Structure 1
Amino acid sequence: MHVGAKQATQNRAIIIDDFVEMAHFLRDLCAASGFQSTLYERATDLDAETFAAADVLFLDLSLPDVDGVQLMRRLGSNRCRTPIILISGHAGCILSAAASAGREDGLNILGTLHKPFSIAEFEALIKTVAGHTDVEEAGPLVTPEAFQAALEQNRIEPYFQSKIDLRRLEVAGFEALARLRLDDGQVLLPDQFIPTAAEFGLGDVLTDRMLILSLDAWRDWSARGADWTLSVNIPVSRLADVQFPDRLEELADLWSIDRRKLILEITETEL
């Protein structure tokens, strides 16, 4: 019993989100991972000591009293080293930009969760904290050999994020987001395996794999009568490949995709 009480004291999470249902959902997920959570709807209710005492901070970017980016600047000026997980329902590029800004301010940004997120995505991040691993000190989570094995065993998967036409209030298309599934079922986010792919010359292989898997899904949608766009992330380096346009043309022909429906998005971390 004493050990359990100590564990609860060591693993403390702060959740700042004015959306009560989401805050309670995060609290339940944290509890299942061995974290005791304190919920706040307003960031002004906390002081520097409270932030420093936590083992992880979940921060929603849209708060009623202060902008999430402004709060991160304040935490950076106070040299806060608590691991931070940013959460938001805004576009993924906004989350990525906020995470980059936080790291530039010296914060320990562990990762991001885009609402709605899956339990697997939450667990992939919280396990890093539960293992008492600091992001800056941790080595790459995926070795080149493990990444190659994931490719060979078809454990690179596209997760599709919907894009909504706000004028018509209907789904207009989907963006393919790369995920890597480990042997034990754990799902890794791009930040945990794409740097390995890029460093060891496997980035083009990953891009081609995501294109093929995404086009497979698009063909299934079209066969069912859906008229959606498909967005796929492409690294800047791939655009410098003079053979890449021909490769795209070949894939578009093989999958009979309307070129106007295929959208290439430049990987945000390379801009």
Structure 2
Amino acid sequence: MAIMLIDDESFSLKLIAHQLSELVSDALILHENAVDALQELEQDPTRVDLLFCDLRMPQMDGIELVRNLARIGFQGGVVLMSGQERAILKGARAFAQANQLNVLEGLQKPITASQIKTIIAKRPTLNTVSYVDIPFECDAEELHRAIQQGQLINYYQPQVDVRTGEVLGVEALARWLHPEHGLIAPERFVPLAEECGLIGELTVIVLAQALELMQSWHEDDVRLTMAVNVSMESLTSLAFPDWLQEVADDFGVPLPGLVLEVTESRLVKDRLAALDILTRLRIKGVVLSIDDFGTGHSSLAQLRDTPFNELKIDRGFVHDAHADPSLRAIFEASVNMARQLGIRTVAEGVETVEDWTFLRTTACDVAQGYYIAEPMPLTALVAWMEKWQSNRLSLMESSQP
């Protein structure tokens, strides 16, 4: 594999190349022109697994390059660099992440050797989950067949108490175990399910597997919560609360252990029906979580009108908040508002020890993210919980704020 550097400033390009050569033995590909770099990447985008790119360049700037990296399906890590104001760098990073690129960092020039070293340390974790990394397309018929044949399975990502490190629960996340392509991430098939009217069936599959696991916990007197994302289709069916109650009764599972996560942007599509359904679910004891908080259009109105009792702060306001004053301000304001409303807060996107240590200085209640654990199959969950519990006290001591 190779590392590609793109910067029209020759001195900066050579300096970063020198810093990298002191740390890695990979081939270094240097370009002073993004057009030439893109042409090389188009021939074989898999050759490069780490790319450094300046934003301000002639002919093709960094934003144009990012747009094209997304077009060719570039899967490597991306590091954006800029000597301009920090707000521009933040905007570029957000744009790259919105284009599904793996953005490792956004760095202000001049780049230091310690920053390069930190990025290289992140590099081995780029592909820790073995999702399909080849072009994958399917139609509604294939997805429907996969649902019928049981190819859709749940992975589970733990959630832990920020103050004690105790495991509080898990979030169920859908994965497609394809017989030919292996494990397929949800962003590859969930949009199709929503477009072709299969999201309701997908939600039922995820809920059924989650409730089955909750049944085994209940029988073993294990008290953990189970979080599940619910579809817009479910939130427009007035029969959904009664259906969920019946299914939970069949499994012998008390509904207060179930957390339904609702993305706030979904609520505005049919606000009256959603308010009807969500209020009835709360009456039945279901915990309601407003997911991806801060990324929608009417967050405060949703908190005012809908009986949420959990607020899940989007990873975009969590990861690197320790180093970014604006992210920190938004994060802490969200946590403080939730506390005043009597709502529990969950921070997703806790990816580094710095994220975790920062979180422990705040009033946030629950943490979730790759630093704690990646989403995992049920067969790996028990072993992870045992290992986490054995290391919990030393982890908490080592991350004292």
TM-score bracket for the superposition, by shorter chain length: 0.5 to 0.7
Report SS of the residue matched to 1:120: coil
Q: Does 1:102 align with 2:89?
A: no
The 8 Å contact of residues 155 and 182 in structure 1, kept in 2 or not, is answered as: yes
* AA at the equivalent of 2:230: I
Whole-angstrom CA distance in 1 between matches of 2:93 and 2:244: 31
Tell me how far 1:213 sits from its aligned partner.
Answer: 0.8
Given the alignment, which residue of 81, 100, 106 partners 2:68? Answer: 81
Cα distance 1:249–1:102, how it changes in 2: closer, same or farther (>3 A)?
same
Deviations 1:198-238 (A, max 9, x none): 22211111111110011111222333332110000112332
The 8 Å contact of residues 230 and 261 in structure 2, kept in 1 or not, is answered as: yes
Cα distance 1:245–1:184, how it changes in 2: closer, same or farther (>3 A)?
same
Q: Does 1:232 align with 2:266?
A: no
Given the alignment, which residue of 230, 244, 249 partners 1:248? Answer: 244
Cα distance 1:112–1:253, how it changes in 2: closer, same or farther (>3 A)?
farther
Tell me how far 1:183 sits from its aligned partner.
Answer: 1.6
* AA at the equivalent of 1:102: A
Given the alignment, which residue of 94, 115, 120 partners 2:130? Answer: 120
Q: Which runs of 5+ in 1 are unaligned?
A: 1-7, 16-26, 28-35, 40-44, 61-69, 88-97, 129-139
Tell me how far 1:156 sits from its aligned partner.
Answer: 0.6
Tell me the equivalent position of 2:179. Answer: 183
Q: Which runs of 5+ in 2 are unaligned?
A: 6-23, 78-91, 105-124, 267-295, 297-401
**TM-score using structure 1 length:** 0.59
Whole-angstrom CA distance in 1 between matches of 2:201 and 2:250: 18
* AA at the equivalent of 2:166: E
The 8 Å contact of residues 150 and 156 in structure 1, kept in 2 or not, is answered as: yes
Whole-angstrom CA distance in 2 between matches of 1:162 and 1:254: 25
Whole-angstrom CA distance in 2 between matches of 1:216 and 1:112: 37
Tell me the equivalent position of 2:210. Answer: 214
Tell me how far 1:99 sits from its aligned partner.
Answer: 8.9
Given the alignment, which residue of 130, 148, 153 partners 1:152? Answer: 148
Report SS of the residue matched to 1:164: strand
Tell me the equivalent position of 1:174. Answer: 170
**TM-score using structure 2 length:** 0.41
Tell me how far 1:46 sits from its aligned partner.
Answer: 9.5
